[in-house]
């Protein structure tokens, strides 16, 4: 199962809801304003690092880039993917749940 989050963690609790329902072995892909959750030095980084013990994290590169966020500022262990990578993830993980 692939979970996508497209809202800023500062704006909504969608990331929290997502993590509450992400089973071990599933994946989370951060897109659009959701990419802010991928950054180091936010109040949410610890929550993300903790979740990463059981769930793989990905962030969409083009959305980071559009927002002026450098890949070097992304939490260690989160993989930056492009649109092709996004498609690959949906294929690999099957069902997608979008936390809109």
Partner 1 sequence: MSEVTGGVEVEEEIGGTVKKFMFVNRKAPYGTIYALEGLEVVLISAAFDQDVSLVFLDDGVYQLKKGQHTKAVDMKNFSPTYRALEGYDIDKLYVEKESLEERGLTADDLVVDVEVLTAEEIAKLMAEQDVVLSF
Residues that bind partner 1 (CB under 8 A): 1, 13, 17, 20-23, 26, 95-100
Nearer to partner 1, 20 or 70 (CB): 20
State the nearest-atom distance from the C-beta of 62 to partner 1, in Å.
22
State the nearest-atom distance from the C-beta of 23 to partner 1, in Å.
5
Nearer to partner 1, 50 or 67 (CB): 50
Euclidean distance between CA atoms 5 and 12, whole angstroms: 10
Count CB-CB contacts under 10 A for residue 63.
20
Nearer to partner 1, 10 or 73 (CB): 10
């Amino acid at each position: 199962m692939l979970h996508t989050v497209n809202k800023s963690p500062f704006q909504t609790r969608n990331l929290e809801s997502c993590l509450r329902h992400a089973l071990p072995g599933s994946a989370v892909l951060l897109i659009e304003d959701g990419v802010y959750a991928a950054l180091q030095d936010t109040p949410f980084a610890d929550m993300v690092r903790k979740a990463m013990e059981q769930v793989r994290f990905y962030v969409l590169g083009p959305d980071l880039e559009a927002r002026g966020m450098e890949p070097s500022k992304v939490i260690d262990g989160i993989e930056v993917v492009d649109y092709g990578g996004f498609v690959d993830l949906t294929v690999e993980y099957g069902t997608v749940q979008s936390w809109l």
